[in-house]
Amino acid sequence: METLESELTCPICLELFEDPLLLPCAHSLCFNCAHRILVSHCATNESVESITAFQCPTCRHVITLSQRGLDGLKRNVPLQNIIDRFQKASVSGPNSPSETRRERAFDANTMTSAEKVLCQFCDQDPAQDAVKTCVTCEVSYCDDCLKATHPNKKPFTGHRLIEPIPDSHIRGLMCLEHEDEKQNLESNLTNLIKRNTELETLLAKLIQTCQHVEVNASRQEAKLTEECDLLIEIIQQRRQIIGTKIKEGKVMRLRKLAQQIANCKQCIERSASLISQAEHSLKENDHARFLQTAKNITERVSMATASSQVLIPEINLNDTFDTFALDFSREKKLLECLDYPTAPNPPTIREELCTASYDTITVHWTSDDEFSVVSYELQYTIFTGQANVVSLCNSADSWMIVPNIKQNHYTVHGLQSGTKYIFMVKAINQAGSRSSEPGKLKTNSQPFKLDPKSAHRKLKVSHDNLTVERDESSSKKSHTPERFTSQGSYGVAGNVFIDSGRHYWEVVISGST
C-alpha cells in the first residue's frame, strides 16, 4: 500500500493527486499545483493567461499551452478513479495505512513499559495479559479468549485487531472521519498565519507606496508652480521688452513725421504769400510798372519751387508701423501642449521591413507617438525555444543592449549565420519607457563557394566558383601549397572556414562516377 501511495503522490504538493492533469510527457500533476507553477512564472502586473509554457516538474519537458491554458490539457480520469478507490480502502480497511499510522502513534506516544493491559473477557482471577485489543468490540482479549470470541470467519473477519492498549485509548481510535482534524487545523492555521503575515507586509508596502505618491505628487505640484511662474516671468519680461520697442518705434516715427509736417506748413505759408504777390502783380495794367515788379517776383517763385523740394525731399506715407507685427501662434501652440509627461507607447517591430545577411540583421520599427520619444534601446539574444521567450523576457542578464538610438532602424553586426534571434525595442523619454512585443528574426546561411586555388590540377572550377568538372587539359597548373595533387584525391576545398556549429552542404553530381 505504501508503494502504491507513493505512485499516487503529486511531485509538487507531495499529497495524493487532486484533479490530476495528464501532461504530454505522460506524467501527471495536480491542477492547482500546475496553476501555482504558472503563477510563479508571472512577472509584476502580468496575468496567468499570458504564460504559454512551463516545464514538467518530473522530467523537465517543456509543456506548451494552447489559448485555453491549463483547461486545454486532458484530465487523467483513470488515475483519479484509482485514487478514489485507494482512499476508500485506506479509510475502511483493517490493515489500511491510516490504521497502521494510528497504531504506531499510540505505540510510540501513549504506551509505556509500566502500563500493562489485562484481558477484559477472562473469568480467571487475576485476568490474563491481553494479546490483542479489538477496536470494533472495544475489548482487550488474552490469547484463549480471542480464539474463543473471534473465529476466523464472518462477521469477525471485519473486526479491527491491534496491539493491546488501555481502555482509555480505544476511544481515540474510533473516529475515523475526524482522525486528521487537528493536523489539518494546525496546517491550515500555519498557512493562515503565513498568509496574514504576507498581507501585513503587503499592507505596509501599500501604505509606503501611498506615502510615496503623496510626496511625489506634492513635489510635482511644487515643480509645476515653479515652472509656470518662471514661464509667466519670462512672458512678462518679453512683454516689457517688446512694449519698449513699440514705444520707441512710435516716438521715432512721430518725431520724423512732425518735422515733415512743420516743414510742409512753413513751405505752404511762404508759397501762399508769394502766390498772393504774384497774382497782384499780374493784375497790374501799367506795363512799365509790371516790368519793374515781375522780374523780382519771377525769381522768388522759381527759388520757392526749388527750396520746397530741398526742404521735403521725400515723404514715406507707407511707414505706418503696420509692418511691426506680433505673431505668437507658435508659442501659443507650445503652451497649449504643456502636459504631464507619460512614457511613450510601446513600439512595433516591422518584421516585413527587416533585412538580414549571414552575419547582420537590420531591425525596423514604428511608434505611434514618436515625437514624445527621446531615444530607443534595442535588445536581442539567441532564440532557443518557445519557453525561452517567457524566461528571457523576465531576465535582463541574457540580452545584448544597444542604447541611445535616434532612428527607427538599426543594423546589428557580428551575428552567427543561420541563427534565429529575439529582438525587442524599448521607447524611452523622461517619464519612463515601454518595450515592444518580442520579434523573431534569422540570419542567412553562410555563403559558400569553391576555392579554385585549391582545386586538383585535373579539375576545372567555373567562373562563379560553384561548379567543378574534370579537365585533363589543365594538367599544367602551378603547384601551390593549397592545391590537391594526389592521384587518388581529386578534390577542391571551400572558401568558408567553419570553427563551430552544425552545417551541411547539398551537392548535385551529374555525368560522372
Domain boundaries, the chain: 2-90, 118-166, 198-311, 348-443, 448-512
Phi, psi of 44 (to 5 degrees): -60, 135
182-204 pLDDT per residue, tens: 677 778 888 888 888 888 889 89
- Alpha-carbon span 165 to 130, nearest angstrom: 9
- Alpha-carbon span 119 to 127, nearest angstrom: 6
Per-residue pLDDT of the chain (513 residues; tens, 9 = 90+): 556 777 788 888 888 888 899 998 888 999 988 888 888 777 777 788 888 888 888 888 888 888 888 888 988 888 888 888 877 776 555 444 444 444 444 444 444 444 678 888 887 778 888 898 888 788 888 988 888 888 777 677 677 788 888 865 665 555 544 556 767 777 888 888 888 888 888 989 999 999 999 998 899 899 889 989 999 999 999 999 999 988 998 898 888 888 888 888 888 888 888 888 888 878 877 777 777 777 788 877 777 776 665 555 566 677 777 777 788 888 888 888 787 778 899 999 999 999 998 889 999 999 988 788 999 999 999 887 765 565 666 666 678 999 999 999 999 999 988 889 999 999 999 888 999 999 999 998 877 889 888 888 888 899 988 899 888 776 555 666 667 777 777 888 888 777 777 777 778 888 776
Comparing CA positions, the residue from 137, 126, 189 lying closest to residue 160 is 137
- CA-based angle 140:141:144, to the nearest 5? 180
Q: What pLDDT was estimated at residue 360?
A: 93
Matching residue, cell 493536523: 183
Give the number of residues written for the chain. Answer: 513
351-407 pLDDT per residue, tens: 999 999 888 999 999 998 878 899 999 999 988 776 556 566 666 667 899 999 999
Q: How far is CA 466 from CA 150, 448, 453, in A?
A: 96, 8, 14
